[in-house]
Structure 1
Amino acid sequence: MSEGSRWTTTALIDCEKGEFFVKAVPNRPGGLRDSVLREWVVNPFVRPVSPAVQWQAEDGDWVVLGFDRIDGRSADFSPGSSDLPKIIDVLNRISRIPIPEVAGDWEETRWDAFLPEKEIALVRGSDLLYVDVQPDNIMIGSGQTWAVDWEWPTKGAGFISPACFVVQLISGGHSPAAAETWVGNCIAWESADPAAIDAFARANARLQQHLAERFPEESWLAEMATAAEVWADHRLAG
């Protein structure tokens, strides 16, 4: 099986060395190449939350990673799903991973442009962040749950990872209060400053709206923008 987009090609291969999930990106300067190389170097530190990268190869045209093949399905984020406790467990396992030295300068800055300067410090921190918490990136297997696609791990305030999950839950049909009840079981959320969460919710709503306007052909971005706005309004209402 193989699939791809204008950015990334993926495939499952079966060869004399075993079965692998392969991810390949064009070998040219830019964020795409940087992200797959970042995923490669962080992988030893995020196992077994993530499948292991067993090999890396590149030539003048491609950069390729070979992951252990895993058997699983995409997580169900909807209300009442039995997957929700497993997702919380994965987020807590990530929270317990010490920030690796290789990630020391991977400062999370994606929300900076949407925050007042005085609030930027609220999202700074020294935790390893996994922010692409969406159904296709949480794989549910028999006795194991994985977080895949570590293409852009960063360093910042630990509550950001569960905060991103809140928006996904709202998009999946949860009320803001119900979504926050779920993430209340996350270690990083329990110790977070409510003012920092409020600031992040506002900034994230601005970011998601910006992305939806920039890429109007991507309907899922509009859905994320709506969910982010609903959450920000909920936080404002207090």
Structure 2
Amino acid sequence: MNPDLPESEIRALIHPNTGTLSSMERTARGFSSDLTALVDSEKGPFFVKAVRNRPGGRRDSLIRERSINSAVWPLSPALRWHAEDDDWLVLGFEAVDGRSSDFTPDSTDLPAVVELVDCIGTLGLPEVARDWHETRWNRFALDESEAELFRGDALLHTDINPSNLLVGERGMWAVDWAWPTRGAGFIDPALLALQLVSAGHSPESAEECVSGCKAWVSANRRAIDAFAAANLRMYRAFAERKPDASWLKAMAVAAQSWVEHRAVPEA
């Protein structure tokens, strides 16, 4: 998030949707956006995401998030409005009162987290996502036959982590649908399993947790093995590219533990 962002430009752009703003409080979430903020205004509170209106990944991700919202509500907060000019693209979501979920072994959030990921797997593939084929792990697969195991017709969130699964007094929400794709249904539960290992679970405990997801239970074991190994290769590569990013090293360690548990022959 850009600390030097000219907020006055965004305030002027969103004014027709918000009316007069009484506050704009930046949030820690939203690393792929130029600005994420909670705004209070005469038309209500909103969670706002803004990116520079330039061709490329960040703009594309916000357009996907805008396009998919009606298909993932009410698991995700509703998109109330969007605004765009030559400089900025902005989304305004319903403001929900929630905190990041706790993935640690003793967390009371875990049953609801698993239920939410399972519910994502039941959403069905909307027409807008039919051409959004999941390919990000393909280059880390051993060969094309393994990459083929990641294909499917499920709608995937693909960024399962504690910050994107919010816990509130009135329920849970999956937020930051920045890169939803079409792929094998086991992928989101598998990503949750890896996150649980990173949060301190044993691989056995993590897999026992995600066994509450139907897409995990019905998955091909070979597909999960290939995906676990692809994640290990991916995080190793990313950690080597960014040696100062400790979280990437931690994810590589978690992926190594998971691969060893599954006795994948070669990672």
TM range (shorter): over 0.9
2:110 to 49, 61, 84: 84
Residue matched to 1:124:
151
1:65 to 81, 91, 111: 91
Aligned: 1:19 with 2:45: yes
Q: Displacement, 1:113?
A: 0.3
163-172 or 212-221, which deviates more: 212-221
4-13 or 79-88, which deviates more: 4-13
Unaligned runs of 5+ in 2: 1-24
Aligned: 1:2 with 2:26: yes
Checking the alignment, whether the CA contact within 8 Å between 2:26 and 2:35 is kept in structure 1 is: yes
Partner Cα separation in structure 2 for residue 134 and residue 155 of structure 1: 19
Partner Cα separation in structure 1 for residue 35 and residue 245 of structure 2: 19
Q: Alpha-carbon deviations, 1:159-208, whole Å to 9, x = none?
A: 00010011110110000000000001111101000011001111111111
Q: Which residue identity does 1:82 align to in structure 2?
A: T
Q: Which residue identity does 1:49 align to in structure 2?
A: L
Residue matched to 1:191:
218
Residue matched to 1:45:
71
Checking the alignment, whether the CA contact within 8 Å between 2:32 and 2:58 is kept in structure 1 is: no
1:200 to 222, 227, 230: 227
Q: Displacement, 1:210?
A: 1.2
TM-score (norm 2): 0.86
Q: Alpha-carbon deviations, 1:109-153, whole Å to 9, x = none?
A: 000001111211111100001121111111000131011100000
Partner Cα separation in structure 2 for residue 49 and residue 102 of structure 1: 18
Partner Cα separation in structure 1 for residue 117 and residue 151 of structure 2: 18
Residue matched to 1:110:
136
Label 1:6 to 1:195 Cα distance change in 2 as closer, same or farther (>3 A): closer
TM-score (norm 1): 0.97
Residue matched to 1:156:
183
Q: Alpha-carbon deviations, 1:67-119, whole Å to 9, x = none?
A: 00000111000002110000111011111101000000000000000111121
Percent of counterpart pairs with the same letter?
Answer: 53
Unaligned runs of 5+ in 1: none
Aligned Cα root-mean-square deviation (Å): 1.4
Q: Displacement, 1:6?
A: 7.9
Q: Which residue identity does 1:106 align to in structure 2?
A: W
2:257 to 230, 233, 236: 230
Checking the alignment, whether the CA contact within 8 Å between 2:83 and 2:89 is kept in structure 1 is: yes
Aligned: 1:178 with 2:205: yes
Partner Cα separation in structure 2 for residue 155 and residue 46 of structure 1: 14
Q: Alpha-carbon deviations, 1:19-68, whole Å to 9, x = none?
A: 10000011111100000110000000000110011111111111100000
Q: How many residues align?
A: 238
Aligned: 1:166 with 2:193: yes
